[in-house]
Amino acid sequence: MTSRNNIKIIAGAIVCHEAKLRGDVTIGAGTIMHPCAFVNAEAGPIIIGEKCLVEEQSKITHRVPFDRVEQKNVPVLIIGSNNVFEVGCNVEACRIGDNNIFESKCFVGNKVTVTNGCIIGAGCYITEEQVLPENTIIYGENCLQREALCGPGQQTLQMDTLSKMLPNYHRIRKPNLKS
Amino acid sequence: MAYIIEQEVVKYVCTCGLLKPISKLYFCRYCLEVRCGFCVCHEVDSHFCEKCLENMPSAEARLKKNRCGNCLICPSCLLHLSVRAATVGPKNPEDPKATPRKVVYLHCLMCRWSSRDVGIPDQIAATGGWPERENVYNVRLSEIIEWYKSVVLLEKQQKLEKDKKKQRKYMSFTDKTGLTAEMIRKRIGLTEPPNPLLKTKAKPLEGAIAKEDVEELPDNIFTQPIKLNEITTVQQRLLQPEWQPVTVDKLFPIHKHLSVKQSLRCRSCEHNVSKPEFNPNSVRFKIQLFAYYHIPEIRIVTVEPLRAGQPAELLLKFINPTQHQTVVTILDLSSMPELIQDDKCSADTSTDDELKPIEKEPLSLSLTQSASLLHTTLSRQPSFTIKPRQTKQQVGADIEIPAANFVLPPRDDAAEFDDSGENYNFNDDPRLVKWRKSNKAVIKLQITPSTDLNLGDQVVVGFVMQHIYTNTIATSVEKDKEPQKCQHKIRVFLSLGNLLGSSE
Ligand SMILES: [Zn+2]
Ligand SMILES: [Zn+2]
Ligand SMILES: [Zn+2]
Ligand SMILES: [Zn+2]
């Protein structure tokens, strides 16, 4: 589809130079993107909201399911605010709300809609077409599911530390959009 | 350490007839026999909590139902619960001077279950004080236990009176209610204090009454959709047998089960083959007679494609783990007939008398010691030998037994870092020994898969490995004595892979 990269970084976002961004990607203010994070907008644009944390080796891919490839208008993958993508996660979800945590090495298929406050536990695989209700927690090797009373707390401290530390040791991409 | 995680391809036959990889075998230096977890005596040494690493005497452990008093596990996913601090608003928000309070709650890092989910009030102190739930059937249960104890006691009394004159050679401590202190008192000839349970006759129990009519199921059970997030799994229910919560809002933290340190004892000579250190912090052993340290380890290097009736070359690596040189001879399986017990090596038993007291504890322990201590040191089962079972391993290939034997030098940890050319002078048969380095040697064997095998069948070969075992027990007792050498035989079965089609 789009062979040229069209990267939009809104002022306030910290995106390391070594983060791989492919296709049409918009990154919101306050979002931190580690080196070697991989955002691949191969099927259509990706918009990442504010104050998301994308750690090393995590992969966010916009991939349309095989049975919908023929459709004309490709949707935009919208990722809300305050999401955490931990080391090595592989997320292809078709829509992501706010306040979600994708733990290490988890996989979320492209037919899954993630709402708000969900936690996908380390190593969990979800591939079936479904909408995860709010505050759903998926954990353990059998991907058991439970519902929490409230969503996970925000990682403000971690984000503050990172936004101070990262620019000292990494080259940061210049934001090209005013907020 | 690949053999620990990978498929078990090299299996040794234990004295009891079971097939085990070398990592699961023990070697009793006194009987000079291999033992496995199945044919040794398992004894509990100590109870401890693996989270807080606290030791607990066995009497206390029994009292606490083998659970740790401090550590809790998640009722949802069984992982340890951690204590998490939080700040909440002051008690009376109207007061402007009131400062926010620090509170703690329990939180699971795996499934994010928290004590707030089920409405357990937050605590001020981080050290426990979590509300305990009372089992509603406690009274009934303790009544039943009391009654059961009195029945057992009565039966024992009657039995004792029956065979008072007979002096039993062994006593059994494996008794149901743990009345071991009484047994020991009897053994060392103390008079029995009158048992309080016998005096006060436990009141007869009311038996459970079966009910004919049970409650009807509510109608909506067939129509209401099930919300899987609200009901508990079978595992979660069985974790708390007293309550068996049906819905997730009734899940409460569970006290962690204790772990045990166990020692293993050879059944025929009552020596320990494995004894851990007492301290829960330590992962080391006082005694560890693992076969891995005494018996040459065999690894498959390569094997040529296996075709029925066609000879194939098999390369095996032998590793000598001991500090003594050994000579390995490959023998036919028939050289070690099954089910014959006295086919032992020429172990000298003259030193046994001096050695035994090291292990055995005197029975005259003072009574001031707690019953639990007596329990752990004396809970020795009477030794009895299990008849070895027939090994049911089918052999699917002939093996050409080499005429020559070969030497394995002692293990030398420094040799690993020594690159200088080693020259060996072992008069090796060049047709047998293909390679050697320090305590390792690779030998070549000729095997022929049987023509009876079908395509794709697993090809198993077996042989008897005879090696010289140097017994160092005698030297440790009497310094001037030469270490005893003896021939030890063990059957080995190798799974080589699947049979391929003919090459034509
Ligand atoms: Zn055994
Ligand atoms: Zn504990
Ligand atoms: Zn949990
Ligand atoms: Zn023994």
Supply the pLDDT for residue B338.
63
Closest CA to B408 of B334, B469, B473, B351: B469
% chain B with pLDDT above 90:
28
Q: Is A144 on the interface with B (CB under 8 A)?
A: yes
Region B418-442 average pLDDT = 79
C-alpha distance from B68 to closest chain A C-alpha (Å): 24
Quote the number of domains for chain A. 1
Q: Is B110 on the interface with A (CB under 8 A)?
A: yes
Supply the pLDDT for residue B214.
87
Most confident range (mean pLDDT) of A24-38, B149-163, B453-467 is A24-38
Closest CA to B243 of B157, B162, B143, B134: B134
Which residues have C-beta within 8 Å of that of residue B498, sequence separation ≥ 6? B306, B456, B457, B458, B459
> Is B1 contained in some domain?
no
- For strands B297-303 and B81-88, give the pairing: unpaired
pLDDT, tens digit, 9 for 90 and up, residues A102-116: 999 999 999 999 999
User: Rounded distance, CA B271 to CA A150, Å?
Assistant: 58
| pLDDT classification of B189: cutoffs 50, 70, 90 | low
Supply the pLDDT for residue A116.
94
CATH code (residue A30): 2.160.10.10
Question: Which residue of chain B is at minimal alpha-carbon distance from A147?
Answer: B229
SS3 A66: helix
Beta carbons of B112 and A149 less than 8 Å apart: no
Supply the pLDDT for residue B352.
36
C-alpha distance from B101 to closest chain A C-alpha (Å): 19
| pLDDT classification of B25: cutoffs 50, 70, 90 | very high
Q: Are A44 and A26 in contact (CB under 8 A)?
A: no
Least confident piece of the model among A159-173, B64-78, B183-197: B183-197
Residue B487 in tokens: 């021939």
Say what angle helices B180-187 and B371-378 make with each other, to 10 degrees.
Answer: 80
Supply the pLDDT for residue A11.
93
Closest CA to A23 of A54, A37, A51, A44: A44
What is the residue type of A21? L
User: Rounded distance, CA A53 to CA A159, Å?
Assistant: 8
Supply the pLDDT for residue B404.
87
Distance in Å, CA B73 to ligand 3 centroid:
8
Q: Is A146 on the interface with B (CB under 8 A)?
A: yes
> Is B339 contained in some domain?
yes
The 10 Å Cβ neighbour count of residue B252 is: 16
Task: Supply the range of the domain harboring residue A81.
Answer: 6-169
> Is B351 contained in some domain?
yes
> Is B261 contained in some domain?
no
> Is B264 contained in some domain?
no
Supply the pLDDT for residue B172.
53
User: Rounded distance, CA B156 to CA B197, Å?
Assistant: 13
Q: pTM for the complete prediction?
A: 0.72
User: Rounded distance, CA B394 to CA B14, Å?
Assistant: 16
Q: What is the mean pLDDT of chain A?
A: 91
> Is B485 contained in some domain?
yes
User: Rounded distance, CA B57 to CA B243, Å?
Assistant: 28
Region B376-389 average pLDDT = 52
Ligand closest to the CA atom of residue B28: 4
Supply the pLDDT for residue B336.
78
Supply the pLDDT for residue B262.
92
User: Rounded distance, CA B67 to CA B63, Å?
Assistant: 9
Which residues have C-beta within 8 Å of that of residue B387, sequence separation ≥ 6? B339
Q: Which residue has the higher pLDDT, B229 or B192?
A: B229
Beta carbons of B111 and A147 less than 8 Å apart: no
Residue B363 has pLDDT above 80, yes or no: no
Reported ipTM exceeds the 0.90 cut: no
Q: What is the mean pLDDT of chain B?
A: 79
Region B257-266 average pLDDT = 93
User: Rounded distance, CA B338 to CA B328, Å?
Assistant: 21
> Is A66 contained in some domain?
yes
Region B375-387 average pLDDT = 48
Q: Which residues surround ligand 4, an ion (CB under 5 A)?
A: B 28, 30-31, 266, 269
Q: Where are the beta strands (DSSP E) in B174-296?
A: 254-257, 259-266, 272-276, 285-288
User: Rounded distance, CA B296 to CA B329, Å?
Assistant: 11
Q: Is A57 on the interface with B (CB under 8 A)?
A: no
Q: How is the beta sheet containing B406-408 ordered, strand by strand? A: B19-20, B10-13, B484-498, B458-471, B326-331, B406-408
Question: Which residue of chain B is at minimal alpha-carbon distance from A151?
Answer: B112
DSSP per position, A87-126: TT-EE--SEE-SS-EE-TT-EE-TTEEE-SS-EE-TT-EE
Q: Are B290 and B274 in contact (CB under 8 A)?
A: yes
Residue B169 has pLDDT above 70, yes or no: no
Residue B77 has pLDDT above 80, yes or no: yes
Supply the pLDDT for residue B502.
65
Of A133, A146, A149, the CB nearest to B111: A146
Which residues have C-beta within 8 Å of that of residue A138, sequence separation ≥ 6? A118, A119, A120, A121, A124, A126, A132, A144, A145
Residue B106 has pLDDT above 50, yes or no: yes
User: Rounded distance, CA B156 to CA B151, Å?
Assistant: 9
Distance in Å, CA B281 to ligand 4 centroid:
29
> Is A175 contained in some domain?
no
Supply the pLDDT for residue B243.
87
User: Rounded distance, CA B378 to CA B386, Å?
Assistant: 22
| pLDDT classification of B343: cutoffs 50, 70, 90 | very low
> Is A59 contained in some domain?
yes
Task: Supply the range of the domain harboring residue B456.
Answer: 7-24+297-366+385-417+426-498
Q: Which residue has the higher pLDDT, B351 or B76?
A: B76
Q: Which residue has the higher pLDDT, B203 or A20?
A: A20
> Is B93 contained in some domain?
no
Q: Is A139 on the interface with B (CB under 8 A)?
A: yes
Quote the number of domains for chain B. 1
User: Half-sphere exposure of B321 toward its Cβ, with a 13 Å CA cutoff?
Assistant: 13
Beta carbons of A149 and B116 less than 8 Å apart: yes
Region B238-257 average pLDDT = 90
DSSP β-bridge partners for residue B266? B40
Residue B195 has pLDDT above 80, yes or no: no
Supply the pLDDT for residue A126.
94
Q: Running DSSP on this structure, what letter comes out for residue A31? A: -
Supply the pLDDT for residue B7.
65
Q: Which residue has the higher pLDDT, B483 or B350?
A: B483
Of A121, A139, A145, the CB nearest to B229: A145
Q: How far is CA B330 from CA B358, B408, B465, in A?
A: 37, 13, 5
Most confident range (mean pLDDT) of A77-91, B130-144, B480-494 is A77-91
Residue A49 has pLDDT above 70, yes or no: yes
> Is A23 contained in some domain?
yes
